[in-house]
Chains A and B, each alone.
Chain A
Amino acid sequence: MAAPMELLCWGGDWDLPSVHTESLIVLAYAKFAGAKLTVKLVDWTWRTVTATIPQLHYEGSTVTEPTQILNFLRQNRFNADYELSAKQGADTMAYIALLEEKLQPALLHTFWVDAENYANLTRPWFASHSPFPLNFFVPGRQASVALSRILLTKAEAPLHSVAEVEGKIYSEAKECLNLLSHRLGSSHFFFGNTPTSLDAFVFGYLAPLHKASLPSAQLQQHLKQLHNLCQFCTNILKNYFSEAASGSPPTSQDAVDANLQKLTQLVNKESNLIEKMDDNLRSSPQHRPSRPHKPEAKPSSLASDRNMTPA
């Protein structure tokens, strides 16, 4: 191929290759399909900041929107869904629709509408990645786009107010996370052992929620209790985006990875135990080890370790 494909996307932070869901979807899919992209980050120039992100340039043509870009990559022989059956292809469409309808509104709310998260995390990040006069403008515009999207799709006309829909979108998003966790079960990816476009989408939606240090984090707390989804994000980050694993996905490393996983699980369990003991100590008045009742179920308690999925 003559010219390399160039992807314009928001930059990375919080141990992620990009903090932006749509950019992450494309980056992950490109890794899964083995497509070499030259990544160009949104920098301090007007041209990049005013563009629709992510944006793929190839031989003079420009493609935007994750679904369009994925289609474009497929047309250029970079297909991660090659081995899927027709029914699995249908499932992919259905689950992507589920993500868009049920999870996306709550994610937009968490990052762009929730005042605490927006002021302490999202606005500073996006402002610091925009040039001087635009840094006052870019985050605010994105926030208002997010808010209007939530209101127009979820709010009940004619009373468009965000307080009314908050409860609804968060309970729908939590249900959606539970459904995804059930669907993933104990497998590595959604369709067996190789990642496909559905994995790219789920990763794109979940990874920022998994990694960001959000001051107000009810959805994040819920995700943290669904261990297989967290593990799913961690695995993809480790196998496809860490320095050592860049390039082709490791195959011989699988055994090592499995051992590592077991080890991390053990360590996690251990630390959960310690935390729980700590909690008990703290919640008892005179540091007596008696436990009358726990004030509230901590997300990291042992009870939620395995089968219990929160409502």
Chain B
Amino acid sequence: MSLAAEAFVSQIAAAEPWPENAMLYQPLREDQILLSDCASSLAVQAYLRMLGLPVRVHCRANAEYMSPSGKVPFIHVGNQVVSELGPIVQFTRAKGHSLSDGLDDVQRAEMKAYMELVNNMLLTAELYIQWCDENTAAEITRPRYSSPYSWPLNHILAYQKQWEVRRKMNAIGWAGKSLEQVYEDVSQCCQALSQRLGTQPFFFNKQPTELDALVFGHLFTILTTRLTTDELSEKVKSYSNLLSFCRRIEQTYFESQDRDSQSGASDYSKGPSLM
């Protein structure tokens, strides 16, 4: 989105309150969605739930192509479409909903830094494992990614996506890494997050921020997704405070809210639970 368009959107956004019929789009939950997309989608859902903004989750096979940036998830609010966590945070702030207003400048710098750590390490590692580890790519990623399409389109799209991700890994210098090194990076990243969290309930003590939503989205998805090996989730499981952090957010923002609203399965979109 260009800067002018961004300014325009936030101008319009400020004028309208959050509607009841806001929608979040993601790929098909059972057969199609991949680890990294699922993590990003869960992060956005957790963020909106922390703000108390209602959103209904819609699964579409072509969600990736519906998104304005080509990335999932995206939300459809009123007559606007916004994709990815960063822009969605800006968008809700323009509407007057924010989780990080209570932070001072130094804390905000810290929050942004840790969010980039998650994007830089966890998200990249998820992409690497999905598309660059040939076992995972052949057994899980390519079949799932191309499940809505018939031959030969399924192969074309899956290999095209794989090629794109591998080019990106080349550009950032991850192409030469071995799977072991990537697991080691994930472990280091989790250790940093675990150290930063310490014994607090959230990263900035009592109040959740967008950082908590992002970390929850990624760790919870890693913990509850079955891959060819358990190695990735084992790395996360060795940090007990991160485990209880995930459990706490799941209980506070997903289970109790779903029980309160008595709504059907369409709102409960997170997938398997940690218990």
Contact = CB atoms under 8 A, between A and B. Distances in A.
Interface stretch (B55-63, B164-172, B240-248): B164-172
Contacts of A149: 171-172
Contacts of A185: 106
Given A93-B188, A182-B109, A153 B195 contact: no
A93 B189 contact: yes
A288 interface: no
A167 to B, nearest CB: 4
Contacts of B116: 94, 97-98, 100-102
A94 B172 contact: no
B70 A157 contact: yes
A139 B131 CA distance: 32
A164 B69 CA distance: 12
B10 interface: no
B113 A94 contact: yes
A183 B116 CA distance: 15
B154 interface: no
Contacts of A152: 167-168, 171-172
A92 B220 CA distance: 25
Contact of B2 (A148, A153, A164, A182): A164
Interface stretch (B13-21, B117-125, B136-144, B221-229): B117-125
B3 interface: yes
B259 to A, nearest CB: 35
Given A93-B117, A101-B119, A179-B109, A87 B196 contact: yes
A97 B117 contact: yes
A170 B257 CA distance: 40
A101 B192 contact: no
B70 A90 contact: no
Contacts of B193: 90
A153 B112 contact: no
A129 B110 CA distance: 39
Nearest to B121: A97
A2 interface: no
Contacts of A167: 2-3
Contacts of A94: 110, 113-114, 116-117, 192, 196
Contacts of A176: 112
Contact of B109 (A97, A156, A168, A183): A183
A179 B113 contact: yes
A72 interface: no
Most chain A beta carbons < 10 A, residue from B105, B188, B189: B105
A92 to B, nearest CB: 9
A90 B172 contact: no
Contact of B195 (A89, A145, A157, A179): A89
B124 to A, nearest CB: 10
A101 B171 contact: no
A113 to B, nearest CB: 14
Contacts of A180: 109
A91 B120 contact: no
A94 B120 CA distance: 9
B264 interface: no
A90 B2 CA distance: 34
A226 B70 CA distance: 36
Contact of B168 (A90, A153, A156, A164): A153
A255 interface: no
A90 B198 CA distance: 11
Nearest to B193: A90
B98 interface: no
B172 A183 contact: no
Contacts of A234: none
Nearest to B67: A156
A15 interface: no
B269 interface: no
Nearest to B2: A167
Contact of A91 (B2, B110, B168, B172): B110
B196 A153 contact: no
Contact of B192 (A93, A145, A157, A183): A93
Interface in B152-182: 164, 167-168, 171-173
B112 A98 contact: yes
Interface string A76-89: 00000000001101
A152 B168 CA distance: 5
Contacts of B188: 93
A93 B113 CA distance: 9
B147 interface: no
Contacts of A90: 191-193, 195-196
Given A149-B171, A167-B2, A87 B195 contact: yes
A145 B171 CA distance: 8
Most chain A beta carbons < 10 A, residue from B113, B121, B172, B189: B113
19 contacts: A90-B193, A91-B113, A93-B192, A94-B196, A97-B113, A97-B116, A98-B113, A100-B116, A101-B119, A145-B171, A152-B168, A156-B71, A157-B70, A157-B164, A168-B3, A175-B112, A179-B112, A182-B109, A185-B106
